[in-house]
Structure 1
């Protein structure tokens, strides 16, 4: 495997090591928080606080992971000398990436609701802008990732209000159920897509195949 192949493994590896364990912990704490509030089950009083804090880290981690995936997809498609648009376009895309990260940091520390909503929108717009580039493989895995990122950022932006407002709390539960379903879709489609991405040295042979007809050119005479 080359360095480029290892870069392509960075996104799924981080998802397995960081994102999905966090999802399990957040969902368990969410269930315990609801049982304690609604059914008066005697869970520790800190479950609600822990759920909220881990939820923040999950939202930020998902955003960062998606940005990493998009950066790798765009940056490793072709050598820099062959990059469409040259250094000017590359620099603009780097600014979009940095702007999305900066907006996420600002969202994390902002107090006012209006600022949180603006920074969440800017950060998500960075994901959409990078995802719109032609180098990005736009299958259902990509679209579910974009949607779940938006849901995570929305929950992060509304976190203080969710804690105080019952209607927003119910909306948050709806968003969370939808996000959990999308994370399942991500796990399935991501595993499938890994089977479809060849190693860098295999790409010339694999991409010579006809994917519609599911046939590949015959090997040269004498090839073993």
Structure 2
């Protein structure tokens, strides 16, 4: 594996090592919090606060993870001196990346509801803007096609939107029963999308060749599932 190949697996490594274990912990705390609220069990009184705090970290980590994936895909699509659009486009995308991260940081610290809503929308818009670049592979952009619902990208940005909602509306979720129910529904959907992400992400890892294999693999006809014959090896030289 080359350096580029190692950079490409940063996203799945962080997902496996950080995101999915943290997701399991947050789900477990959510179940305990609900059982304590319904008085069907007696978990420790700190489970509600622990669920809220770890859920906040999970939401921010998911957003950062997706930003890392988009940045790696765009930056390593080809040699930097052949970057489509040149330095002007690269500079624009860099500003979008920095602005998205700053907006996420501002969302983390903001107190006023209006500011939290604004920063959540700006962060999601930044993620969608980076994801809309031609270097980012998407099975389909047509929601009426089956490929759209099998796309790792689209389920990923949907999870980001749900995480930003949980992060931005956290104080209101703690106070308002209706928002709490909406939060539960949104996170049930997020749990389903996390499972889909695990499946589609594994599928995509199988389909992405190593950097030195791409010229040969991409010469194949993926619709016909056939590849051109490989050139025979050079004959061994006589001693």
Alignment TM class, shorter chain as reference = over 0.9
**Paired residues for 1:98-113 under 5 Å:** 98-113=98-113
What SS is found at the alignment partner of 2:9?
A: helix
Aligned equivalent of 2:187, options 176, 181, 187: 176
Q: 1:221 Cα shift?
A: 3.7
Q: Hey, what does 2:115 align to over in structure 1?
A: 115
Q: Hey, what does 1:162 align to over in structure 2?
A: 173
CA distance in 1: counterparts of 2:234 and 2:76, whole angstroms? 30
Deviations 1:64-108 (A, max 9, x none): 000000000000001011110001100110110111100000000
Aligned length: 224
Pair member with larger Rg: 2
CA distance in 2: counterparts of 1:218 and 1:2, whole angstroms? 25
Q: Hey, what does 1:136 align to over in structure 2?
A: 136
Aligned equivalent of 1:150, options 161, 174, 183: 161
Q: Hey, what does 2:81 align to over in structure 1?
A: 81
Is 1:213 the counterpart of 2:197 in the alignment?
A: no
CA distance in 1: counterparts of 2:232 and 2:192, whole angstroms? 49
Q: Hey, what does 1:21 align to over in structure 2?
A: 21
**Paired residues for 1:88-103 under 5 Å:** 88-103=88-103
CA distance in 1: counterparts of 2:234 and 2:36, whole angstroms? 68
Runs of 4+ in 1 over 3 A off after TM superposition: 221-224
Going from structure 1 to structure 2, the CA distance change for 1:221 and 1:53 (only over 3 Å counts) comes to: same
Q: 1:111 Cα shift?
A: 0.3
Q: 1:39 Cα shift?
A: 3.1
Deviations 1:90-130 (A, max 9, x none): 01101101111000000000000000000000001010000
**Paired residues for 1:62-81 under 5 Å:** 62-81=62-81
What SS is found at the alignment partner of 1:77?
A: coil
Q: 1:220 Cα shift?
A: 1.7
Q: Hey, what does 2:145 align to over in structure 1?
A: none
Aligned equivalent of 1:196, options 195, 202, 207: 207
What SS is found at the alignment partner of 2:44?
A: coil
- Give me the TM-score of the superposition, normalised by structure 1: 0.98
Q: Hey, what does 1:61 align to over in structure 2?
A: 61
- CA-based RMSD of the aligned residues comes to 1.0
Between Structure 1 and Structure 2, the one with more helix by share is: 1
